[in-house]
Amino acid sequence: MKPSTLHRLLAVVTAWCITTWWEDSRLLLSNDGLYATAGFADGVHYPGRWSLFDPLSDPGVVRLVLFLGFAFCAFLFARPKKAIGIGSLVGLFVCVASLNARAPFAISSAEMYLAVLLFWVAIGSIIGWSGHMLRAFRIQIAMVYLSPLLIRFFHGGKTWINGSALRLVVDNPDGRRGPFGSLARHLPDGVLSLATWGTLVAEALAVMLLVALVVKTRVSESLRRRITGLVVLLHVSIALVCGLWFFSAVAMIGFVAAVRLQKAEKTTPCTGFVPWSIAACVVTWTFLSVSGSPAASAGAQRNIAAYAVRGAGITQVWGVFSPNPPRVERWIEIIDGAGNVLVDSRTEGERVRKLAQNVRSQPDGLLARAWLLAMCSDDPASLRVTVRTPDARRVEPANQCVVNP
């Protein structure tokens, strides 16, 4: 794979990412919605957070910046090797990282991964894809697959070890959104157990292949193709069963690029110290920032590294359903005073679904309150958040917002 091919693929998936922000931009990015510039609607500020969308928080300006992001994608796709393409690549990183930092409760690990890919590709394009730079990039991608493995084996991932994780995924409607999700539900437990362990094997082989390429171990072309095909099959299966299309696309681009990316013919003179220093930093960066999700760490400084990367919008939290998939089906409903359901997270877009997942854990918390305040500002009414389960008797009342007309 040539660097220009990687640039074009990133332009496409970044345009895809920005498109998903368009519909919910007012709720998540403007002062009129959930996230005010200073923090949430009641003025709480989270330390260390920086975003391009903090000073530019008018709804019209937010849409203008997103439109500029589309233009950057077009420039990068059309002129990947030119100065305007490299400049667009840097601009897209700033845009995506700002989105992640501004609304950490509504982003997925795929968007975190995309920001990190843009970060690395921007550096590689500026200082050149030398052999050292390629090895540093491969270490980063290896960490993407190593981190969930470590989480599952050392932080209570019992369902992955005993082979029941995929059964939990397909039996939970929240994880059964792909076209093959219902079909997978009817497979025997033994088949799903093999698929669960196969996921762990594929991730482990991905790490071993990338480490082998980093230390210059001779890897046959046949073995490289087989492992690449297995990892691609893993991500295609995740898309078809779980409906995680964007995650699968970003993950496949990252892995294939790490395995197949070619050195640039002309590179900026650079000693091996620089990329290896970057590689050492990214290993530390990954392990320190993976200690908590954006939702858990947004309001507290866990450590210096987590504080810094959260502020830049490049927090790394890898691993779908790590350490274990959810066991209980729960969803969020926002109900008005007359009992009408205004929001059902099961039928909303992916970004609101992600927001609802974080509200579920603390339905009486600040996030739920801010969501209600944003909705009340549009249509003054008495609203409340409830956490629902299939058993109607287990309705859990939560926050209530009353705004007088």
Per the domain annotation, does 342 fall within a domain? yes
Task: Tell me which of 328 and 252 has the higher pLDDT.
Answer: 252
Contact indicator for 314, 97 with CB cutoff of 8 Å: yes
Per the domain annotation, does 270 fall within a domain? yes
178 with 42, same domain? yes
CA dihedral 202, 205, 209, 211 (to 10 degrees): 120
pLDDT at 47 over 60: no
pLDDT at 333 over 80: yes
Per the domain annotation, does 322 fall within a domain? no
The last residue of one of the domains, among 312, 339, 354, is 312
Mean pLDDT of 280-300: 53
CA dihedral sign of residues 278, 280, 282, 288: negative
How far apart, in whole angstroms, are the C-alpha atoms of residue 28 and residue 24?
Answer: 6
- Out of 5-9, 249-253, 295-299, which region has the weakest mean confidence (pLDDT)? 295-299
Which is nearest to 231 in space by CA: 261, 207, 211, 266? 207
Contact indicator for 172, 329 with CB cutoff of 8 Å: yes
Q: Cβ–Cβ contacts within 10 Å for residue 155, how many? A: 10
Give the C-alpha distances (Å, rounded to integers) separating 387 from 20, 68, 362. Answer: 25, 38, 10
Mean pLDDT of 269-287: 63
- Out of 108-117, 151-160, 269-278, which region has the weakest mean confidence (pLDDT)? 269-278
Q: Using 50, 70 and 90 to split pLDDT, how confident is the model at 114?
A: very high
pLDDT at 380 over 50: yes
178 with 234, same domain? yes
Mean pLDDT of the chain: 79
pLDDT at 381 over 70: no
288 with 348, same domain? no
190 with 255, same domain? yes
Q: Cβ–Cβ contacts within 10 Å for residue 267, how many? A: 15
Q: In sequence order, which residues have a C-beta less than 8 Å from that of residue 207 and are 6 or more positions away?
A: 142, 145, 146, 149
Per the domain annotation, does 103 fall within a domain? yes
Q: Angle at the Cα of 23 (from 21 to 26), degrees rounded to 5?
A: 85
213 with 149, same domain? yes
| pLDDT tens-digit series, residues 172-210 | 766 667 788 778 888 898 999 999 999 999 999 999 999
267 with 360, same domain? no
The last residue of one of the domains, among 283, 312, 341, is 312
Contact indicator for 152, 161 with CB cutoff of 8 Å: yes
- Out of 100-114, 229-243, 389-403, which region has the weakest mean confidence (pLDDT)? 389-403
pLDDT at 246 over 50: yes
Contact indicator for 117, 256 with CB cutoff of 8 Å: no
265 with 382, same domain? no
- What is the pTM assigned to this prediction? 0.84
Per the domain annotation, does 69 fall within a domain? yes
Q: What is the CA radius of gyration of the chain?
A: 22
Q: In sequence order, which residues have a C-beta less than 8 Å from that of residue 404 and are 6 or more positions away?
A: 380
Query: Which strand (E) or helix (H) includes residue 204?
Result: helix 189-214
| pLDDT tens-digit series, residues 345-376 | 888 888 888 888 888 877 777 788 888 878 77
209 with 282, same domain? yes
3-state secondary structure of 334: strand
- Out of 56-60, 267-271, 336-340, 384-388, which region has the weakest mean confidence (pLDDT)? 267-271
Which is nearest to 22 in space by CA: 63, 74, 61, 68? 63
> Which pLDDT score is estimated for 285?
61
- Out of 90-99, 108-117, 308-317, 385-394, which region has the weakest mean confidence (pLDDT)? 308-317
298 with 339, same domain? no
Mean pLDDT of 298-326: 62
pLDDT at 214 over 60: yes
Number of domains the chain contains: 2
> Which pLDDT score is estimated for 296?
41
My answer on whether omega of the bond before 323 falls inside 30° of 0, hence cis, is yes
Among the residues of 215-342, which ranges form H helices?
221-242, 245-260, 273-289, 294-297, 304-312
Q: Using 50, 70 and 90 to split pLDDT, how confident is the model at 258?
A: very high
How far apart, in whole angstroms, are the C-alpha atoms of residue 382 and residue 403?
Answer: 7
Mean pLDDT of 259-287: 64
> Which pLDDT score is estimated for 329?
79
pLDDT at 233 over 50: yes
Contact indicator for 149, 23 with CB cutoff of 8 Å: no
398 with 273, same domain? no
296 with 351, same domain? no
> Which pLDDT score is estimated for 343?
84
- What domain range is 395 assigned to? 331-402
> Which pLDDT score is estimated for 266?
53
Per the domain annotation, does 390 fall within a domain? yes
* Cα end-to-end distance, the chain, whole Å: 59
57 with 146, same domain? yes
Per the domain annotation, does 78 fall within a domain? yes
Contact indicator for 243, 184 with CB cutoff of 8 Å: no
DSSP 79: -
Per the domain annotation, does 319 fall within a domain? no
> Which pLDDT score is estimated for 27?
85
Task: Tell me which of 390 and 145 has the higher pLDDT.
Answer: 145
Counting other chains too, the contacts that 208-213 makes at CB distance below 8 Å and 24 or more residues apart are 209/259, 210/138, 210/139, 210/141, 210/142, 210/145, 210/258, 210/259, 211/142, 213/135, 213/138, 213/258, 213/259
